[in-house]
Amino acid sequence: MRLIRDWSELPTDHAPGALTIGNFDGVHRGHARILQRLVQRARLLSGPAIVFTFDPHPVRILRPSLAPPPLTWTDRKTELLADQGVDWVISYPTDEGLLSLTPERFFQQIVVERLDARVMIEGPNFFFGKGRSGDIGVLRQLCEQASVELEIVAPLVVGDQFISSSRVRNLIENGDLDTACALLTHPYRIRGMVTHGAGRGARIGFPTANLAAVDTLLPGAGVYAGRAFAEGKTWCAAIHVGPNPTFQEQVLKVEVHLIDYHGSLYGATMEVDFLTRLRDIHPFKSVDELKLQLAHDVTRAVEFVTDWDARELANPPDRSA
């Protein structure tokens, strides 16, 4: 899989392939349906399956105050797209020049001249060009004029709603990681740098790695079961997101207890998967009462992650569509 951030990195001898354009934030199962068709069509052409995406999301430039926190960072998004069989991810630097292109100029410059796409795969709610003025109708006309085949993939409905990045984001914000993970092609993951905290966890027997500089959406306040990735290994984890009311602290923190880990991770970058929410955050009457609850949290986290891993090993989930 090739990650391309500049046109100078584009292979000059590639065969014409299949292209889809979009943000693909989170890479959920609705995206996977589009990507599945993209890869199938690219293989028939013996060319690359290409995803053209934007970095940053255009709304961060046009209306930064309205930009939601992303669900994935660029390298993670690229990994997830590669898992779906994509050959090239073009993470194009979004700027005013790109956003000012009319739909016609965008199509001509990107689809025809740069990528020489023979097939485009999109969902029905696709918009492109200055002010999102190009829709599927405009795209269809442009594809017909350029002899590019266009395939529209129907949205994926789970329950009574379409799967969308906004739907996944709302679930994560509300702490419903079970449903969010079922809609994604992967467990929900964040990353951050391990920094020094108050050291309180270590003193009561539950040391935590305190994460700062998290650049994606944080789940709603609560205690979660998940997995931590550090030092090239995977650890079962109990994760606290939110304040520490027992100690009269209202600052939001992300504290990760790596179960059975012994060592120091200060200054390291850690990635964390959230699998399920174990409980709300509330103050405890004493430190001893808190310690009993933390021990219970750890036991439940181990049980849940162990069961999760066993289920995935025995029956790998089909998250493709």
Which residues fall within 8 angstroms of residue 179, CB to CB, at 6 or more apart?
171
Return the exposure string of 9-48: e unless at least 16 CB atoms fall within 10 Å of the residue's CB, then b.
eeeeeeebbbbbbbbbbbbbbbbbbbbbbbbebbeebebb
Q: Are residues 146 and 7 in the same domain?
A: yes
Quick one: pLDDT at residue 61? 83
Residue ending a domain, choose from 158, 175, 196: 158
pTM: 0.94
Quick one: pLDDT at residue 63? 85
Quick one: pLDDT at residue 320? 61
* Structural domain total, the chain: 2
Domain CATH for 21: 3.40.50.620
Q: Is residue 193 part of a domain?
A: yes
Beta-strand ranges (E) seen in 171-298 are 188-195, 209-212, 222-230, 233-244, 249-258, 269-279
Looking at residue 145, its amino acid is Q
Q: Is residue 179 part of a domain?
A: no
pLDDT digits (tens, 9 = 90+) for 248-282: 888 899 999 999 998 889 999 999 999 999 999 99
Q: Which two tokens stand for residue 9?
A: 């990195």
Closest CA to 278 of 241, 309, 233, 313: 241
Q: Is residue 296 part of a domain?
A: yes
Quick one: pLDDT at residue 249? 83
Quick one: pLDDT at residue 318? 67
Domain CATH for 199: 2.40.30.30
Query: Residue 99's Cα: distance from chain center in Å?
Result: 23
Whole domain around residue 200: which residue ranges?
Answer: 187-314
Task: Using alpha carbons only, give the angle 276, 278, 280 rounded to the nearest 5 degrees.
Answer: 125
Q: Are residues 195 and 154 in the same domain?
A: no
Residue ending a domain, choose from 158, 179, 197: 158
Residues of the chain with pLDDT under 70: 317-321
